[in-house]
Chains A and B, each alone.
Chain A
């Protein structure tokens, strides 16, 4: 078993809700991330999936301290990330980089590509002059951009190529960890595959560890070694990618997986769909007990609405936060309404 590069324990990010004329009084908190624990092993890709408002992006940002966590611990290669200040934090950040969803808005339109890709190297005082130029050319090669790209500006590139520029920037400092937040969801499908392949290629060549955040389960299934599923600020299930997709244990994971359209009409015609009712509740007022109980088709009369389920290991390496995971899997607990009936009153 390989060592953990990142260990996250009970991470919390609460954003205060201020009201009043001058927004002076704090009257509540949006619990964007509320007790997330996970580890990322050296060299692996951990996929973090969830719907909007699940806290997956905030979790990724909190790891890099792009937002300040309000509680918990983050350890990166043995170093307590949350205790670092100033120069120490800056040095550590060289080893943790981020790739963003929108290659259109994350690149300064007034800088040419050589300038953009060389920026991290200059900022951290790693290279200048000819050495910088050489390194930038190397990086452009690495991400599959033509050499003459350096003199051009972001608007001259397509979405896929812009994401390559973003990747070149992210790997410029030879980081250990790359947090990729929805790196392909703004791209057309024929381009997505190019970037996904490039991500895999870079990981191998540069020995990268990825935290891959996305809402698209099929994409995450494709790139991730392990997958963590988030719902309303907490992790509800974490397992290897084949186990999570093949034998999901949490009712939310099941519903999520059954909702992913599969580009094959033969499969679509026969598969069972679990149609969830209602919407994800507000993270400012999460439901008591299990946060999913308001929408859960397997909800039981006891425990679900009173007791917060702990994330526990049900099979080796497969953890789930559901009181009834074993009973549901064994078929001893049936969904309240059969899937067909749920669908009918949709």
Chain B
């Protein structure tokens, strides 16, 4: 019976096996419109994610990284959020225009999400076991006993000791790290092909963060999931993600293989971010170079480089025309949206 969902899905599209990337986002735009103002939160975001891949979406508050992830699964507030343009395809299926009933299936089975604060995503008056088995019974049509066994197995897989006893406990009886493990267990219950983790470790202590990141790394490997990791922490990205996309003011300003992007940041904002975080392995004599000013508000649709007012490399062109992602030195894997990208020589001399 557990294959029912799969049959239905295959029935819907019997001929074409999923081609192209597993998750593909093209030119996504999100606006929040209220009576007195409009906020242009996401202004043309594109990326691909494949099975077994990890993509880090990095940005500061207001950069649009979380809004992007919510838009993928139709989780934005319908009252205020508008998606005027863009395309989101999961296994070649258009998600932006899918009906809510279909989205609900996708959210449970194919694409799962983990949020920053596990306490607000768990129901405080139901046992953890009840919440987990409910997921399994709804989405995989298991019977009670099967679901109980599967739930215990899941808790065990995410590293929760004594899983059978823990299933009978309530969320408040779990520590922050353990709750996040429960959330991950729920998210992977239906073996999703993509996991979106939005600041999954931001509320946790660093030793617990290390445990959760280790768990996520392991899951990507064993389950061959695609992982979209949304975070403000460059260190987390460096340790977990193969590819990184840096967001600023609702746009991806630089993207590439993590190793390359960190070693040779081309966008002045990426360089600025890297220079403004203290590194544990650097001496304190290395001064921090903060990025001056603060991000602008997003009331207007972008018509120029949004970072220009804070940028030492800005030119007249930066202040007039919107830069688009273009290959760095012909490298089609490393893209930067900047009229005056930082060259290797400039980077060394400015250090």
Which of the 9-residue segments A1-9, A125-133, A271-279 touches chain B? A271-279
Q: How many residues of chain A have a CB within 8 Å of chain B? A: 49
Cα separation A267 to B259 with both chains bound (whole Å): 10
8 Å CB interface, B76-91 against A? none
Best-buried of B60, B234, B235 by chain A (most CB within 10 Å) = B235
B278 contact from A158, A222, A259, A279, Cβ within 8 A: A222
Q: Are A263 and B235 in contact (CB under 8 A)?
A: yes
Produce 1/0 per residue, A28-70, CB < 8 A to B. Answer: 0000000000000000000000011000000000000000000
Closest to A261 in B: B235
Q: Are A255 and B207 in contact (CB under 8 A)?
A: yes
B277 contact from A51, A193, A197, A273, Cβ within 8 A: A193
Cα separation A320 to B44 with both chains bound (whole Å): 53
Known: A261-B239, A263-B274. A193 touches B288 (CB 8 A): yes
Residues of B within 8 A of A260 (CB): 206, 235, 280
Which of the 9-residue segments B10-18, B189-197, B208-216 touches chain A? B208-216
Residues of B within 8 A of A160 (CB): 294
Min CB–CB distance A262 → chain B (angstroms): 5
| Interface status of A116 (Cβ within 8 A of chain B) | no
Best-buried of A158, A216, A275, A344 by chain B (most CB within 10 Å) = A275
Cα separation A178 to B289 with both chains bound (whole Å): 24
Known: A189-B234, A190-B272. A263 touches B277 (CB 8 A): yes
| Interface status of B262 (Cβ within 8 A of chain A) | yes
Produce 1/0 per residue, A304-346, CB < 8 A to B. Answer: 0000000000000000000000000000000000000001111
Cα separation A224 to B213 with both chains bound (whole Å): 28
Q: Are A267 and B281 in contact (CB under 8 A)?
A: yes
B205 contact from A52, A191, A261, A345, Cβ within 8 A: A52
Residues of A within 8 A of B274 (CB): 263
| Interface status of A265 (Cβ within 8 A of chain B) | yes
Q: Are B210 and A259 in contact (CB under 8 A)?
A: yes
Residues of B within 8 A of A188 (CB): 60-61, 232
Residues of B within 8 A of A279 (CB): 175, 177-178, 208
Q: Are B288 and A265 in contact (CB under 8 A)?
A: no
Q: Are B280 and A265 in contact (CB under 8 A)?
A: no
| Interface status of B273 (Cβ within 8 A of chain A) | yes
Known: A223-B284, A259-B207, A265-B238. A191 touches B290 (CB 8 A): yes
Produce 1/0 per residue, A153-168, CB < 8 A to B. Answer: 0000010110000000
Closest to B178 in A: A279
Q: Are A280 and B238 in contact (CB under 8 A)?
A: no
| Interface status of B233 (Cβ within 8 A of chain A) | yes
| Interface status of B218 (Cβ within 8 A of chain A) | yes
Known: A273-B210, A279-B175. A191 touches B294 (CB 8 A): yes
Min CB–CB distance A267 → chain B (angstroms): 6
Q: How many residues of chain B have a CB within 8 Å of chain A? A: 48
Known: A189-B60, A263-B235, A268-B239. A218 touches B280 (CB 8 A): yes
Q: Are A264 and B238 in contact (CB under 8 A)?
A: yes
A262 contact from B214, B238, B289, Cβ within 8 A: B238
Q: Are A264 and B262 in contact (CB under 8 A)?
A: yes
Min CB–CB distance B93 → chain A (angstroms): 33
Produce 1/0 per residue, A177-215, CB < 8 A to B. Answer: 000000000001111111011000000000000000001
Cα separation A344 to B157 with both chains bound (whole Å): 11
Residues of B within 8 A of A268 (CB): 235, 238-239
B209 contact from A192, A194, A242, A259, Cβ within 8 A: A259
Q: Are B284 and A241 in contact (CB under 8 A)?
A: yes
A-B contact count (CB 8 A): 141
B280 contact from A190, A192, A221, Cβ within 8 A: A221
B276 contact from A189, A242, A343, A346, Cβ within 8 A: A189
| Interface status of B287 (Cβ within 8 A of chain A) | yes
Q: Are A262 and B235 in contact (CB under 8 A)?
A: yes
Q: Are B234 and A263 in contact (CB under 8 A)?
A: yes
Produce 1/0 per residue, A219-230, CB < 8 A to B. Answer: 101111000000
Q: Are B235 and A197 in contact (CB under 8 A)?
A: no
Cα separation A229 to B1 with both chains bound (whole Å): 54
Residues of B within 8 A of A259 (CB): 206-207, 209-210
| Interface status of B279 (Cβ within 8 A of chain A) | yes
Cα separation A141 to B198 with both chains bound (whole Å): 39
Closest to B177 in A: A279
Produce 1/0 per residue, B150-173, CB < 8 A to A. Answer: 000000000100000000000000
8 Å CB interface, B44-66 against A? 60-61
Q: Are A242 and B277 in contact (CB under 8 A)?
A: no
Residues of B within 8 A of A275 (CB): 207, 210-211, 214
| Interface status of B128 (Cβ within 8 A of chain A) | no
| Interface status of B99 (Cβ within 8 A of chain A) | no
Residues of A within 8 A of B207 (CB): 51, 255-256, 259, 275-276
Min CB–CB distance A47 → chain B (angstroms): 10
Residues of A within 8 A of B (CB): 51-52, 158, 160-161, 188-194, 196-197, 215-219, 221-224, 241-242, 245, 255-268, 273, 275-276, 279-280, 343-346
25 A/B residue pairs, CB under 8 Å, sorted by A = A189-B276, A191-B290, A191-B294, A192-B290, A193-B277, A193-B291, A197-B287, A218-B278, A218-B279, A224-B284, A245-B281, A261-B233, A262-B235, A263-B235, A263-B237, A263-B277, A265-B259, A266-B262, A267-B281, A268-B238, A343-B214, A345-B159, A346-B159, A346-B211, A346-B218
Known: A197-B290, A263-B234, A346-B159. 20 other contacts (CB 8 A): A188-B60, A189-B60, A190-B273, A192-B276, A193-B291, A196-B288, A197-B288, A215-B205, A215-B206, A222-B284, A245-B281, A258-B210, A261-B209, A262-B239, A263-B277, A266-B263, A267-B281, A276-B207, A344-B218, A345-B159
Q: Which 5 A-B pairs have the closest CB atoms?
A: A261-B235, A193-B290, A222-B278, A193-B276, A263-B234
